[in-house]
Amino acid sequence: MLLENKTAVVTGGSRGIGRAICLELAREGANIVTCYANGADAANETVAMCQELGVQALAVQADISVKEDVDRLFEEALKVTGTIEILVNNAGITKDGLLIRMSDDDFDQVIDTNLRGAFYCMRAASKLMMKKRYGRIVTISSIVGVIGNAGQVNYAASKAGVIGMTKSLAKELGSRNITANAVAPGSITTDMTAGLSDQVKEEMAKSIPLNRMGCPEDVANAVAFLVSDKASYITGQVLHVDGGMC
- Catalytic residues, by residue number, are 155
Give me the count of residues in the chain.
246
Cα–Cα distance between 52 and 44 in angstroms, integer? Answer: 12
Rounded to a whole number of angstroms, the minimum distance from the CB of residue 192 to ligand NAP is: 3
Q: Which is nearer to ligand NAP, 3 or 222 (CB)?
A: 222
Which among 101, 100, 120, 98 has a CA at the least distance from the CA of 111?
120
Nearest alpha-carbon partner for 166 in 147, 132, 146, 138: 138
What would you report as the CA-atom Rg of the chain, rounded to the nearest whole angstrom? 17
Cβ at position 46, least distance to ligand NAP in Å: 9
In whole angstroms, the minimum distance from the beta carbon of 109 to ligand NAP comes to 9
Contact 75, 62 (CB under 8 A): no
Nearest 5°: CA angle at 239, between 194 and 81? 85
Name which of 117 and 135 has its Cβ closer to ligand NAP. Answer: 117
C-alpha to C-alpha distance for 57 and 48, rounded to whole angstroms? 8
**65 versus 134: smaller Cβ distance to ligand NAP:** 65
DSSP 8-state code for residue 112: I
State the residues that interact with ligand NAP by CB under 6 A. 11-12, 14-18, 35-39, 42, 63-65, 90-93, 113, 117, 140, 142, 185, 187-188, 190-193
Give the C-alpha separation, 72 to 159, whole Å: 25
Q: Which is nearer to ligand NAP, 93 or 173 (CB)?
A: 93
Spatial contact of 64 and 125, defined as CB atoms under 8 Å apart? no
We find the least distance from the C-beta atom of residue 36 to ligand NAP, in angstroms, to be 4
Q: Which is nearer to ligand NAP, 49 or 130 (CB)?
A: 49
Please give the helix or strand (H or E) that residue 180 lies within, else none. Answer: strand 178-185
Shortest Å, Cβ 5 to ligand NAP: 26
